[in-house]
Amino acid sequence: MLISSPAKEVSAMATPVKRQPSGPDPAGAHATKNPDLHLYERAMELFNACNFQADREFFHTLTNSANRDLAYSAGLRVKMCNRRLGNR
C-alpha cells in the first residue's frame, strides 16, 4: 500500500491557480463573433432594469437562436417576463 505524505498534498493544494478575468470583455470580441450573444446581453440589461415588456420581445427573438443553450435560457426568461407582467 502506497501512502502519500501530507506535506506533498499540502504543497499541491497551495499552488496558486491562474484564472482568466471574469469581467465583461472590454473589446466586445465575443459579441462580434456571435450576434445572438450580444442581443442576449442587451436583453439581460433590460431585465435587470425591470423593463419586462421590451425585454420579453428580445428574449422571444432569441428563442430561435442556433445556440440551443441560449435559446433555452431565452425561453425561460420569456416566462419570467410574462409572470412579472402578469401575463401567464
Instruction: Tell whether 51 is covered by a domain.
Output: yes
Q: What percent of the chain has pLDDT over 70?
A: 62
Q: How many residues can be counted in the chain?
A: 88
pLDDT digits (tens, 9 = 90+) for 9-39: 555 555 555 555 555 555 455 545 788 899 8
Instruction: Tell whether 83 is covered by a domain.
Output: yes
For 52, the domain range is 33-88
Are 66 and 39 contacting, i.e. CB atoms less than 8 angstroms apart? no
| Overall domain count for the chain | 1
Q: pTM surpassing 0.85?
A: no
Mean pLDDT in the chain? 77
Instruction: Tell whether 81 is covered by a domain.
Output: yes
Phi, psi of 79 (to 5 degrees): -65, -40
Instruction: Tell whether 16 is covered by a domain.
Output: no
Instruction: Tell whether 10 is covered by a domain.
Output: no
